[in-house]
Structure 1
Amino acid sequence: MNKTIYIFYPIIALLFCSSCSSKQKDAKSYLSAAREFYQSGNYESAKLQIDSIKIKFPKAFDEIKEGHMLMQQIRTSENQRNIAYCDSMLQVTNAAIEKAMLAFSLQKDPQYQEIGNYIPKLTPSTQLFTRNTLRSGVSEDGKIYLESIVVGQNIGHQQVRASLSDGSYAETLPVTSDGLNYSFNTIEGRYEIVKYTGKDENGVSNFISLYKNEPITIQCIGRKTISFSLSKNEKEAISQSCELSSLLLERERLKLEKEKSETLLRYLQEKAADK
């Protein structure tokens, strides 16, 4: 009986050591795979391998520690790569913005405005109050807006609808705010101007840009409703505004993305220096 026990314990110990060794070997294989993925630039797969070590081998302390150190290297490389990508895309975007700007004039009074507006040259201000129209513009920070102008009629309009011949349409939300919806009279007649920005614009400019090669009817809706057709230049101007807005917003997104990566990179470098 005692002899059996003496033989049994060494076998258990041997099996336990073998199991530990096997687990350690498996943990090392995950770590090795993580390093290979890291070297090839496949950072997501490398991080998955490191996470698997912690989940599957919670007692493989050496491998977990090495995995943590490798994870810091991966995050550093990720942010360095992201900064380089943003720099590259900013060059492309800035070149596209510079080209698009040729079709616009900047309107800005530094005394009263912190942010000016880019106005398409196809819709000059000198022609604004000669007929009913829908014009567009883009603020310097990339926000598009539409302005409906009704000349010589008192309809109290608050919104516009852009329609195609097949009945499909897009319309703004009603705008009643002072400063965005106003009217005035001169010796030459009455004028109503409504400005649609942000959620109030409601995608009407994109709708017009998408269907700029088709006839588009604009309805100005208020106590009464009037209709007019957009000219080729008016549609093209709105399309140009959509493009410029998209480019300016993309530039701001890239700048923010780069700034986030630079902040994270500084944090990782400072953390590494403290060790």
Structure 2
Amino acid sequence: MRLSVQTTILMLLMLIFFSCTGRERGATKYLTEAEEAYKTGNYSIAKLKIDSIKSQFPKAFNEINFGFHLMQEVRMAENKRNIAFCDSMLRENYNNLNEILVKFDYVRDDRYQEFGEYHPKAYPHKSSLNQNGLRSAVSEKGDLFIESVLSGSGIRHNQIKVSSNDGSFAETLVVTADGLNYRFNTLERSYEIVRFGGNDENSVAQYIYTYRDKPITLHFIGNRTLITNLSQAAKNAVSNSFELSNLLKSIEQLKVEKEKSEVLIRYLESRKD
């Protein structure tokens, strides 16, 4: 009859305990405590006890060897638990994703884009040129960007600031001209559209999300500064984008963590062969 790993380790612990004395029994005590921690799912303590055997009892060769095998079981169990946790969180996050996506339009131009973007319905991009304000979008991977839209006044703005009546504020970094920033004129008026993403966005979206139910002043900063009130529709749209961005990034991170655990489990299983 094939014995389980736990039974085998327990028998070996008993054998070691009755065959050693003095300082060696300290190593056996650590190994016993590691086994108990492993059984109760306290994997961090189990690994700490196993590591302590080698550092405190460098000549306890049997205990060190048995500790090595126990460590493999601990890592296996720990990563299986991590996969179960990731699966549970992914199910919850995907349910939340299905609920929030109804607030967005998915947009992708096959000619230029490998991946699409989610545009909030609360502040449609197509109508955003009709008023000065902010529009936003989120990539499929969860990267958020905001765009400032200014019409009728050419100030060559390259930075924005949002502020509240309590004196708090957030502002983007200064951006340089690139292919995602536009300044153009029509027969009726001039337009400036500047994109802030990544580090340049500098938590402006988070600020708007936090103060979404309060008045927010928008500052266009360039050759001079123009000020306007940020509309409730724009605040709602940026807030929705902020929530979606965090949710998509959380899903991506959970998928990465799950894959790491799956890779390690395959490695540990290969060591058994």
TM over 0.5: yes
Aligned to 1:259: 259
Shift of 1:94: 0.8
Match of 1:105 in 2: 105
**How far apart are the structure 1 equivalents of 2:170 and 2:246?**
19
Aligned to 1:215: 215
SS at match of 2:22: helix
Q: Which amino acid aligns with 1:159?
A: Q
Match of 2:124 in 1: 124
1-structure distance, mates of 2:140, 2:218: 27
Please give the secondary structure, in 1, of the residue aligned with 2:106: strand
Aligned to 1:154: 154
TM-score (norm 1): 0.90
Runs of 4+ in 1 over 3 A off after TM superposition: none
Give the C-alpha shift of residue 195 in structure 1.
Answer: 0.3
Cα contact 1:180–1:196 (8 A) shared by 2 = no
Q: Which runs of 5+ in 2 are unaligned?
A: 1-19
Q: Which amino acid in structure 2 is aligned with residue 205 of structure 1?
A: A
Residue 23 of structure 1 deviates from its aligned partner by 2.1
Aligned length: 256
| 1:169-214 alpha-carbon deviations (Å, 9 max, x no partner) | 1111111232132211122321110000001101101001101111
Of residues 97-106 and 164-173 in structure 1, the stretch that sits farther from structure 2 once superposed is: 164-173
Q: Deviations over 1:52-92 (max 9, x none)?
A: 21122211111111011000110111111111111111101
SS at match of 2:268: helix
Equivalent residues of 2:125, 2:135 under 8 A apart: no
The residue that corresponds to 1:93 in the other structure is 93
Q: Does structure 1 residue 174 correspond to structure 2 residue 174?
A: yes
Q: CA RMSD in A?
A: 1.5
Give the Cα–Cα distance (whole angstroms) in 2 for the partners of residues 45 and 74 of structure 1: 10
The aligned counterpart of 2:30 is 30
Q: State the Cα distance separating 1:140 from its structure 2 match.
A: 1.1
Distance 1:52 1:129 in 2: 65
Q: Partner of 1:21: helix, strand, or coil? A: coil
Give the distance between the partners of 1:213 and 1:77, measured in 2 at CA.
46
TM-score normalised by length of structure 2? 0.90
Letter aligned with residue 214 of structure 1? K
**Match of residue 57 from structure 1:** 57
Q: Output the CA distance in 2 between the equivalents of 1:38 and 1:189.
A: 71
Unaligned runs of 5+ in 1: 1-19
Alignment of 1:204-243 (within 5 A): 204-243=204-243
Q: Secondary structure at the match of 2:113?
A: coil
Larger radius of gyration: 1
Q: Distance in 2 between matches of 1:155 and 1:56?
A: 69
Q: CA deviation at 1:144?
A: 0.8
Q: Distance in 1 between matches of 2:91 and 2:74?
A: 26
Q: What's 1:200 paired with?
A: 200
- Give CA deviations for 1:113-148 in whole Å, capped at 9, x if unaligned: 012111110111332111111111111110111100
Give the Cα–Cα distance (whole angstroms) in 1 for the partners of residues 127 and 266 of structure 2.
Answer: 53
* Whole-Å separation in 1 of the counterparts to 2:218 and 2:124: 19
**What displacement does 1:236 show?**
1.1
Query: Match of 1:149, SS?
Result: strand
Whole-Å separation in 2 of the counterparts to 1:157 and 1:213: 27
Map of 2:82 onto structure 1: 82
Deviation at 1:269, TM superposition (A): 0.7
SS at match of 1:257: helix
Alpha-carbon distance in 1 for matches of 2:223, 2:26: 76
Following the alignment from structure 1 to structure 2, what is the Cα–Cα distance between the partners of residues 89 and 258? 11
Supply the distance in 1 between the matched residues of 2:75 and 2:55 (Cα, whole angstroms): 20
The corresponding residue for 2:5 is none
Equivalent residue number for residue 191 of structure 1:
191
